[in-house]
Structure 1
């Protein structure tokens, strides 16, 4: 079963390499991966939301979802699964970005992006299209740049959305309102 998944992953990555790569997209995908590095774009969005009194609770929910997704993905899952990145399997000589040092599964960029998407779908309906678009581009950039397998990204999406759902259902928002920050 694992070899079938691995073969499908490699087929999709080869398809992306053979049909999408060009100099313009190279630059665009590098940009979107950099925007997603360490979840900085989502942390900054959380801080901006927190600073605005009207959206303070949304900022706290978003940072909570980011933390939960990061702990589950980066601390636990990556170190349990220990999946090597695609460029090590395919012996890619010239990556367009620096080689990530951590394991591949799940994608941390994607987890953070979709943790933010999950909160924004519920609490920032006016901006959800923009947030979703950036999240999708960040996730795709990880495939395009050959640093994640499609299943890493798929599980990053699931983990990010699950993290936001847990945070939204945990009644944290009510606790944040009671503490009247």
Structure 2
């Protein structure tokens, strides 16, 4: 079985769970569509805590996301696929989505960029951050708008970017100086 068929089979497995356990659909719709607002609120709260480490974390997360998004767009030029609800019959599509290239998942890039960065800076909460990012990625498959490969590649790109940026950004003397002002 080739990777494409595995991707479709894994999509079917996850997406069909929503047909069998429909009572979970509202939770996954919330994760897929609205959890981004909670992430934004948490990011704002971290910034306004006025702690240097939290501000460094927020800046690192934003730069990580920008870098990951650029790399994701490049990956999307190298490989392209439409959303599963466009390409496959009988998809349990739970949210509306514009038809475009779904590779890699932008939501997954966003959540893994921020959550992995938050995990690096706040190790005590690492299981919560990683679980949140994982659940948002899973939710994008559950609601029928991404294949598992879209999510996995988005997670890998943003995780690498988050670690790279979390090492580099705090070492920038100009940034420390500006944040202390």
* TM-score of the superposed pair, with normalisation by structure 1: 0.85
- Structure 1: 5+ residue runs without aligned partners? none
1:164 is paired with a residue whose SS is helix
2:81 is paired with a residue whose SS is coil
Cross-structure match for 2:41: 44
Cross-structure match for 1:115: 113
Matched residue pairs, number?
A: 175
* TM-score of the superposed pair, with normalisation by structure 2: 0.85
Cross-structure match for 2:122: 124
1:127 is paired with a residue whose SS is helix
- Structure 2: 5+ residue runs without aligned partners? none
C-alpha RMSD over aligned residues: 2.1
- Give the conservation status (yes or no) of the 8 Å contact 1:50–1:59: yes
- Give the conservation status (yes or no) of the 8 Å contact 2:15–2:91: no
Runs of 4+ in 1 over 6 A off after TM superposition: none
Q: Distance in 2 between matches of 1:42 and 1:163?
A: 18
Cross-structure match for 1:151: 149
Q: Distance in 2 between matches of 1:32 and 1:127?
A: 19
Deviations 1:124-164 (A, max 9, x none): 11222222221111010111112111111111110110110
Q: Distance in 2 between matches of 1:58 and 1:93?
A: 38
1:126 is paired with a residue whose SS is helix
- Give the conservation status (yes or no) of the 8 Å contact 1:70–1:111: yes
- Give the conservation status (yes or no) of the 8 Å contact 1:69–1:160: yes
